[in-house]
Structures are given as C-alpha cells and as structure tokens.
Amino acid sequence: MKIRQSFQQYVNLRPVKLLPGAPSPLAGRSPQDIDMVVLRENTEGEYAGIGGFLFPGDPEREVALQTAVYSRVGVERIVRHAFDLGRRLKKSVTSVSKGNACNYSGVFWDKVFREVAEEYPDVPTRSYLVDAASMFFVRDPSRFGVVVTGNLYGDILTDLGAAITGGMGLA
C-alpha cells in the first residue's frame, strides 16, 4: 500500500471477460454476456492502513479500529478515470458503494460520483449498493460496462468476476 500511495498508483483496473471456450459456472453465458472492466481505487478506503488497537490483551476491553479514508481528490480522480474509460469504450459506468449503511464514506462516494457524472451526459450511469452489484454480477453480468468502486468492494467484486469467468487462473 505504501508504494501505491507514494507513487499515486490509484487505478487498479481489472478486466472481467469470459474468454471463448472458457467454462463459466453461469449456465448459458457467452463472451458477449460477460465483458466488463472494474476500476478499484487503489490508495484509499479500508486498506489505507489507518487504525489500531485499544487495550490490547485485555479480554474484556480489547478493541480493533480500522478507518476507511475517502478524499475528494481520491474519489474524484478514480471516478473521472472511469468516465473517461466508459466514454472511450462506449460503455456505461456503474458506481458501487454502500451509501445506505456507511453514512459518511458511502454517502460521500455517491455524492462525488453524481457530481462527476454531470460532466459526462453522454455516458449512461448506474449506482448500486455492493450487495446488489454482487447479485447482478452473477444474475446479469451483461448490465455492466465499467464498474468503479472503492478498494475493499473492488477487491471482492474482482474476485467474484474471476469466479464467473472460469476462475482466478483466468483472471
């Protein structure tokens, strides 16, 4: 993470594409049905490394803290990258967050996504909660073109993407 942060390597781009002849656990799916790109913010979020322990070793009071970090600069630049990619590829851009439960970081992510989306009226957009997006990755992966999300959700969704395209070895 320190190297990513030091060199501002904020884009983690993961294609999720079913290759011709590759088996998918999703019955009846073809390469045209599973062809998306997931952009994961690579320097912030839950993996930023901010947190700690309170009362370590105390069986009644021990607490672990993990703080998610979402800056305007960080969210805006990954979202803008997603829209530029969506425009270039002529694909929709879908934001994935958890704004209904993460009252600050999720709401902030959604707000910045909407603001940037206004600058790209030619690019179709969607927003999903991460649980709904996970379901649609399996039930209807063709609805996704470019997916943009934070570090933790992107980590999970790209592993799910690998599973629906034949496994981690094909990702």
pLDDT at 4 over 90: no
Determine whether 33 is an active site residue.
no
Each residue's pLDDT tens digit, 55-75 = 999 999 999 999 999 999 999
Options 90, 111, 140, 159, the catalytic residue:
159
Determine whether 159 is an active site residue.
yes
> How confident is the model at residue 147, as a pLDDT?
99
pLDDT at 5 over 80: no
pTM of the model: 0.91
d(CA 24, CA 42) in angstroms, rounded, equals: 28
Tally of structural domains, the chain: 1
Task: Order the strands of the 125-129 sheet from edge to edge.
Answer: 11-17, 35-41, 146-149, 93-97, 125-129
Domain range for 151 is 2-170
Q: What value does the mean pLDDT take over residues 129-134?
A: 98
Work out the pLDDT band at 1, boundaries 50, 70, 90.
Answer: low
Long-range Cβ pairs for the range 19-24 (8 Å, 24+): 19/165, 19/166, 19/170, 22/165, 22/166, 22/170, 23/166, 24/164, 24/165, 24/166
158: buried, middle or exposed (CB in 10 Å: 19+, 13-18, 0-12)?
buried
Residues composing the chain: 171
Options 10, 47, 70, 153, the catalytic residue:
47
Each residue's pLDDT tens digit, 13-43 = 999 998 888 888 888 888 888 999 999 999 9
Work out the pLDDT band at 124, boundaries 50, 70, 90.
Answer: very high
Options 98, 110, 128, 153, the catalytic residue:
98
Determine whether 58 is an active site residue.
no
pLDDT at 6 over 70: no
Token pair of 65 as six digits: 């803290």
> How confident is the model at residue 29, as a pLDDT?
86
Determine whether 131 is an active site residue.
yes
pLDDT at 103 over 70: yes
pLDDT at 110 over 90: yes
Options 90, 104, 131, 140, the catalytic residue:
131
Each residue's pLDDT tens digit, 132-171 = 999 999 999 999 999 999 999 999 999 999 999 987 655 5
Write the CATH number for 23. Answer: 3.40.718.10
Q: What value does the mean pLDDT take over residues 72-90?
A: 98
